[in-house]
Structure 1
Amino acid sequence: MTHRATQRGITAGAATAVAAAALTLLSTGAAHAAPDSVTWTDRVASVTRTVSDANPKAGDTITVTTKFERSTGPDLQLNWVKDFHDACLTYVTDSATMNDGTGDKAVEPYLEMKPGFVAGDFMATSYRVFVKAASPATFTVKYTVGASCTRGTPLSSGTSYQGSLGKGDYNSYGPFITVAKDSDGGGVSTGSLGSLLGTGSSK
């Protein structure tokens, strides 16, 4: 009886140790995410680009958002928005959405997909996109990090857009994405144009 009880104790202890190890592993995986963002203002809008993990590993999926804001009228109607990315990143099908405060709306099939960018055509969609004072519009896309991505080197990203009040071309404004080396668990972002300058850049 004593022997059997001891065996049960060992089994329970081992299970607890395995569970703890699994929890630690999951926690470590989640902890490596390092979000980064950069903001700038031109004569049309204030633009904020954010990446969910600026130091991902190959195989990870990252989310990139581009938010357009205006502090005063008139309203800005967005005609199209491009999201520039390194060709080693692969767009995740059906992940592109636009939200102007009325909920996420799908962009496909009106999304042009090229190796270096994706572009949403909001003049072709069934809805129109307006950036109003205190009511931003956010373009969101997801990418899978490819095995061909250069490790440890910042990969540029950016946006361009056109709307009723003008256009902007910022195809390398960031945030920069640095794919972790295979032996690196991820961690600190190498930064973006905004963080390198100390603040967002202004036009």
Structure 2
Amino acid sequence: MTHRVTQRGITAGAATAVAAAALTLLSTGAAHAAPDSVTWTDRVATVTRTVSDATPKAGDTITVTTKFERGTSPDLQLNWLRDFHDACLTYVTDSAKVNDGTGDKPVEPYLEIRPGFVAGDFTATSYRVTVKAGGPVTFTVRYTVGTSCTRGTPLSSGSAFGSSLGQGDYNSYGPFVTVAKDGGDGGGVSTGSLGSLLGTGSSK
């Protein structure tokens, strides 16, 4: 038995409202990004690492941000920072930036790029990276998710750094990225569903 929904008897105002609701559902389904972050504190600084999408698909580009904060003096000078990632992620050229509150500064060409990490050498740059009390510093880098990434399994992630006040090695602290399995994002609205909402589709 086939049931066809028509727009007959629906007022213009109601039709507009239904269309708006359908578009809202579409936009909600498309926005599948799920940011995640982890924070820890050691004797040197409070570190927060954030990933723009913890459940990306192969081919997506994600942004990883590492923020350093201090609550008291003395100032902390960062000498180097290593951003660990799974080897199936590929660094996006020229994406590494550091910001001390005065704007983004490029890290290349003083950036070591390896399959499992990228590392910025701030002793070689023309600027110095200083974390002051109440003045956070962020290191941002972008990666492309490769087709070789294992699906549905958390990938390794973390950071390490050297500074004027000591070193820290947190290469497995996360946040962890889990590449979505094939078969769609599971959150979208099909054109058939949209047609039904607008009164132009059919279902059996």
Q: Structure 2 unaligned runs (5+)?
A: 1-20, 188-204
Between the two proteins, the alignment pairs up a number of residues equal to: 170
Q: Structure 1 unaligned runs (5+)?
A: 1-19, 188-203
Structure 2 CA distance for partners of 1:153 and 1:186, relative to 1, 3 Å: farther
Give TM-score, length-normalised by structure 1.
0.79
Could you tell me how far 1:46 is from its partner in structure 2?
0.3
Superposition map of 1:1-203 within 5 A: 25=26, 27-30=28-31, 32-185=32-185
Contact 1:90 1:144 in 2 (8 A): yes
Structure 2 CA distance for partners of 1:186 and 1:52, relative to 1, 3 Å: farther
Deviations 1:92-137 (CA, angstroms, capped at 9, x unpaired)? 0000000011110000000000000000000001100000000011
Deviations 1:69-100 (CA, angstroms, capped at 9, x unpaired)? 00000000000000000000000000000001
2:195 matched to which residue of 1?
Answer: none
Could you tell me how far 1:183 is from its partner in structure 2?
1.4
Partner SS, residue 134 of structure 1: coil
1:5 matched to which residue of 2?
Answer: none
> How high is the sequence identity, in percent, across the aligned residues?
79
1:148 alignment partner AA:
S
Q: Aligned equivalents of 1:62 and 1:54: distance in 2?
A: 8
1:102 alignment partner AA:
T
Q: Aligned equivalents of 1:145 and 1:22: distance in 2?
A: 29
Which one has a larger percent helix, Structure 1 or Structure 2? 1
Q: Higher Cα Rg: structure 1 or 2?
A: 2
Contact 1:113 1:119 in 2 (8 A): yes
Structure 2 CA distance for partners of 1:133 and 1:29, relative to 1, 3 Å: same
RMSD: 2.0
Runs of 4+ in 1 over 3 A off after TM superposition: 20-27
Could you tell me how far 1:21 is from its partner in structure 2?
7.8
1:197 matched to which residue of 2?
Answer: none
Q: Aligned equivalents of 1:25 and 1:92: distance in 2?
A: 29
